[in-house]
Amino acid sequence: MPRSSRLPFLIALIAIAGILSSGCTLPGMTPSGGGGGVTDITVYKEGYSSLDEAMASFHRVEQEQFPDLAGMEITQVMGVRVSSEGKARTWTLGFRGLNSTKVLEYHAGDWTRLDLDLPLPDQAIRLDQVLSPDRLYATQKARIKEVLDRQGTTESDLLLAGDVYTLTVPSTSGTSVLRFDARTGAVK
């Protein structure tokens, strides 16, 4: 994918992940005390998890719940609402096979398949050959904290595609983006 067309792709993926991990309301629901309005029904069982924890869980259920992933490779990893320790509320994995793609989401201890037909990168990611997100956040702690503080938040979104981590920190005043070498953690 040409460099200039990556930004709209990244923004679209982050928007989709944000929508998928956001709370929702159902018609007819009203907050206690009446009066109508929006009711947040978002439930976080355990809070944040590391990518290592998510992958350990995936390997336990992979053959039973997702046998159709055999022969497919991870080509994209996304963390949504990532804490300053590199742990996310939601991890999303993009898999590419010969003629198909699959997207799985890990949230609150459970894996689910998302019925999305997203264009995924071609390059396979070997998670054992890149820094884990928690290690990246520890390595670049000062730089990431500076951006989080400037944007007035404690969370970011993280995308791993190819050999690049792209950290996005949205806020009402604008979005900050940092890119890091996935193998070394160096700023790109």
**Tokens 């702690």 identify what position?**
141
The answer to whether residue 20 is domain-embedded is yes
**Tokens 């956040």 identify what position?**
137
The answer to whether residue 147 is domain-embedded is yes
**What does the block give as tokens for 62?**
């992979």
Determine the pLDDT at residue 27: 40
List the chain pLDDT tens, one digit each, 188 residues.
444 445 444 444 454 444 444 444 334 333 444 444 554 444 444 589 999 999 999 999 998 999 999 889 999 999 999 999 999 999 999 999 988 899 999 999 999 999 887 889 999 999 999 999 999 999 999 999 999 999 999 999 999 999 999 999 988 888 999 999 999 999 99
How many Å apart are CA 106 and CA 112, to the nearest integer?
7
Q: What is the DSSP letter of 108?
A: T
pTM score: 0.76
Burial class (CB in 10 A: 0-12, 13-18, 19+), 101: middle
The answer to whether residue 154 is domain-embedded is yes
The answer to whether residue 131 is domain-embedded is yes
The answer to whether residue 75 is domain-embedded is yes
The answer to whether residue 188 is domain-embedded is no
Q: How many helices (H) and strands (E) does the chain have?
A: 4, 7
Give how many domains the chain has, as a whole number: 1
Show the DSSP H helices in 100-166 as ranges.
133-139, 141-151
How many Å apart are CA 32 and CA 29, to the nearest integer?
9
The answer to whether residue 186 is domain-embedded is no
Domain that holds residue 152: 3-181
The answer to whether residue 187 is domain-embedded is no
SS3 of 124-135: the string is CCCHHHCCCHHH
